[in-house]
A and B are shown apart, each in its own frame.
Chain A
Amino acid sequence: MPGNADIPSVVEQTRLIGPLDGGVVNAHFLGRTAALVLGDNAIVLVPPDGETRRIAAHEGAILTSVTDGARVISGGDDGRVIETVSSGETRVLASDPKHRWIDHIALGPDGTIAWSAGKNAYAQGKELRTFEAASTVGALAFFPKGFRLAIAHYNGVTLWFPNAAEAPPQTLERKGSHLGATVSPDGRFLVTTMQEPLLHGWRLVDSQDMRMSGYTARVKSFSWSADGQWLATSGATQLVLWPFPHSKDGPMGKPPRLLTPSGHRIEFVACHPRNAAVAAGYDNGMIFLTRIEDGAKILARKPSDTPVSALAWSADGLLLAWGTEGGEAGIIDLA
């Protein structure tokens, strides 16, 4: 480990929460209230001043969660899709009739919610629409515009217009298991994370393939920079940023930018919502904030115990919430 002594630090500005039973599996912000999602059944709400509250949102493990800044929507092995707001109130949005696990959730630009259970994907706008994929759904991602959903599965991704029964779903093929999916903010590229330690991408206008490899582990976390020009990814001992310039070819043929090399692997990334900077959490519990332009870094958490498993920024970019597999958690106030 290179000496961290000379690196600027915001560690002292951390409000420690926890340890939290069940480990932290995700983090979100509802305004300035942090929502730490736990692996068992609960969401812990941390208001800026005031007591933390543990909300038993599910009757089983929480498997997936997303936010639109006003509510956390989570899916669990109890077969339920649950909405939790910052007051702590919860509401059941959907319940799988066969109590199957809710594996993935995505939030559409107009507030539409999509979720999947096994091979089935559902989209709840004005009406409930369903789609059966060829194999278990690996990920869901809405397009930034238009009511269109990317459904990842074995051997590719299917693009589905839930409200246009007459428009046939389009499938982009790529052999293997796709476990994560994201559409670039300009809507021109679709990127999936695969079972193998690599990403696969498609330029949507002509379905041209992009292979983005060089990782040492499965890429479990990715995040778009505020300007949409970089895709930050976990899965390597350096911060891997793929360039998506606003040019015709996007990332085609361009190498990634590699920042903050260390002896430890990055497990979770979250781009700052306003500035060109990335929070990266490592497998030894360490967290760095890194500026994309020049790689300048700030220490946000010292190496300690279990891997960082959650990072989230408040919308104003002044608060950073983090959590670890072991259940340690904190809120860093950068103001």
Chain B
Amino acid sequence: MTEQSSSEKVPVTLLTGYLGAGKTTLLNRILSEPHGKKYAVIVNEFGEIGIDNDLVVGADEEVFEMNNGCICCTVRGDLVRILDGLMRRKGKFDAIIVETTGLADPAPVAQTFFMDENVGRKTKLDAVVTVADAKWLSERLKDAPEAKNQIAFADVILLNKTDLVSADELSDVEGRIRGINPYASLHKTQRAQIPLNAVLDRNAFDLDRILDLEPTFLEEDDGHDHDHEHSHEHGDHDHDHAHKHGGLKHYHDEEMQSIALRSEKPLDADKFLPWIQDLVQKEGPSILRCKGILAFKNDDQRFVFQGVHMILDGNHQRPWKHDEKRESRVVFIGRNLPRELITEGFENCVVK
């Protein structure tokens, strides 16, 4: 009765990336271009972002752990405070942008929307947008875990300042991004020049719109086997493989990967749902994001779900269409994911 439909909720875009990557340029474009929309902006109180807008609020980026004693179940408490406060001015703006510093982990921000009922009732996370500097990203991906987090978590990636790198360097960094997150929409830009509708109103966290699950290129589809058992034997974490592949170098990030699973046979809901719950309970700290569309046996409805670390959100979405392939697809992005365990677990849920 009091649940607001998702279209009435105020959309929130999370804008992440290092200082100097072009985040401020993008933000200023969003605020100044004549699109007729008004944005409230939540910035890091210690940030150096210079923007001209009367609805700018400074936030403390500190996160706290939920009381379950788990290190991955963190919330940005200040975001709860500020979103609660901003919602009192509802009607004065159309959408909210949360800017985070280059050191921030996007997960606590996303989890805030799932874990705080008040926030989740009035606002919705629209998309995580990561702005990356083409020249510096390769280096950061080697030495900075937060850079990988931001790439892994992104729904939209702006690979900015492409004019400052050679074609070879660009292809290299693009390959590295795809090695971590093949699912985000990737835009190569200069001076953050991008149509704003590629960044805003994406509905990437909307369960109804979960469906951009097709990776730009899927590991399974590329025709050769990249299993490298040796990678767990040695301690070199910067060990990458590169393969030339359709002009784009194909990297396997040793630490951060994605796993895509699919089944043309229906799944057993009584097996799948307990399995995924149990999986995220055990492996939550290493799973950054997961999402999926599921075709359950004896169920005419598509079931969609997504999760951040240990938190899952799932629902029946709509009836399967007659001309639609009833296929289940699930994607995990995370750190050192137990690939075999996840694959076997998923296959056990397929109705034999």
Contacts and interface: CB of A to CB of B under 8 A. Distances in A.
A60 interface: yes
B143 interface: no
A118 B67 contact: no
B67 A136 contact: no
A180 to B, nearest CB: 12
A61 interface: yes
B110 to A, nearest CB: 16
A109 interface: no
A280 to B, nearest CB: 16
A61 B77 contact: no
Interface stretch (B55-63, B302-310, B334-342): B55-63
B88 A62 contact: yes
Interface stretch (B111-119, B173-181, B271-279): B111-119
A60 B75 CA distance: 27
A136 B77 contact: yes
A44 interface: no
A311 B77 CA distance: 27
A283 interface: yes
A332 interface: no
Contacts of B82: 101
A194 B64 CA distance: 12
Given A101-B85, A196-B66, A217 B116 contact: no
Interface string A164-187: 000000000001110100000000
B139 interface: no
Interface string A282-313: 01100000000000000000000011000000
B201 interface: no
A103 B65 CA distance: 22
B57 A101 contact: yes
**Chief secondary structure at chain B's binding surface:** mixed
A307 B115 CA distance: 20
B80 A195 contact: yes
A77 B1 contact: no
Nearest to A217: B117
B51 to A, nearest CB: 16
Nearest to A22: B88
Given A100-B58, A135-B77, A218 B85 contact: no
**Chief secondary structure at chain A's binding surface:** loop
B64 to A, nearest CB: 5
A196 to B, nearest CB: 5
A194 B68 CA distance: 13
Interface in B72-122: 75, 77-78, 80-82, 85, 88-90, 115-118
Contact of B116 (A40, A136, A218, A306): A218
B8 interface: no
A48 to B, nearest CB: 28
B88 A177 contact: no
B56 to A, nearest CB: 11
B45 interface: yes
A218 B117 contact: yes
A39 interface: yes
Contact of A61 (B60, B67, B89, B118): B89
A143 interface: no
B298 interface: no
Contact of B75 (A62, A195, A220): A195
Nearest to A265: B2
Contacts of B62: 135-136, 154
21 contacts: A40-B88, A60-B89, A63-B85, A101-B57, A101-B82, A103-B85, A135-B60, A136-B78, A138-B77, A154-B64, A154-B77, A176-B64, A176-B66, A195-B77, A195-B115, A196-B66, A198-B67, A217-B117, A218-B117, A284-B1, A284-B2
Interface of A: 22-23, 25, 39-40, 60-63, 77, 100-101, 103, 118-119, 135-136, 138, 154-155, 175-177, 179, 194-196, 198, 217-218, 220, 283-284, 306-307
* 4 A-B pairs with least C-beta separation: A61-B88, A39-B88, A177-B77, A154-B64
